[in-house]
Structure 1
């Protein structure tokens, strides 16, 4: 059974799987970058009352799993994560600053997928069998 989170007005279990891709899919991220990214994202999530559950990736992209409350606007969280991590990482690592002619790190696009809980078929079946 998944953990149910609660605040004053809601009970929830919301998770999102995010993927951030480096600009032009350049293979610029190493282990030290991933570790620093993990620290930054965990700190940012706390400010949104969210929690970083998992974070890993490769040289040109990073996967993130975040649990968040229903009061968080997902697009705001994503924009904050991308802008803050880009700024901090480019400030911390000269190799990232030198990889691009402009002050960028992430591609404008990203993947966001909801995850956790029951499958869509189970939920559809449950709703269809409710008494009206």
Structure 2
């Protein structure tokens, strides 16, 4: 039998595939900023008891697979991660970031992960190579 997580009055398994982008879809997540974003995300998830199942930051968007306890709404978690990561990135890289602390664009994509968890994790893990193949295909067709 599958092992589920548990809280005081509930047994649960709530996994979500989440994607969001930097403001104006700028290609800002690379090098030190990308590494620091990973550290920040792991730390924020740990603080809230959220399991970061899989994650990958591309230069212009972020893919996460999170296991979120049912005591938190998905909008609360995404807002928390975007808000806190933007503040910390701005503190660490204020010399590289222009303007205000609004780093992320409004909105996000979310999809529940059910029985196809392995497919979603594999998709996130190989996102970069998939995107590169699509770009090569697009250039060949033009």
TM-score greater than 0.5 by the shorter chain: yes
Q: CA deviation at 1:95?
A: 5.3
Larger Rg: 1
Query: Which protein is richer in helix relative to its size?
Result: 2
TM-score in terms of structure 1 length: 0.79
Q: Residue 127 of structure 1 aligns with which residue?
A: none
2:66 paired with 1:66: yes
Q: Per-residue deviation at 1:65?
A: 1.0
Count of residues in Structure 1 that have an aligned counterpart in Structure 2: 117
Structure 2 unmatched runs, 5+: 117-142
Tell whether the 8 Å contact from 1:2 to 1:117 is kept in structure 2 after alignment: no
Aligned to 2:127: none
Separation of aligned partners in 2, 1:103 and 1:72: 25
1:109 aligns with 2:107: yes
Structure 1 or 2: larger strand share?
1
Q: TM-score, normalization: structure 2?
A: 0.73
Please tell me the root mean square deviation across aligned C-alpha atoms, in Å. 2.0
- Name the CA distance, whole Å, in 2 between partners of 1:109 and 1:37: 18
Runs of 4+ in 1 over 6 A off after TM superposition: none
Structure 1: gaps of 5 or more residues: 119-132
CA distance in 2: counterparts of 1:36 and 1:42, whole angstroms: 10
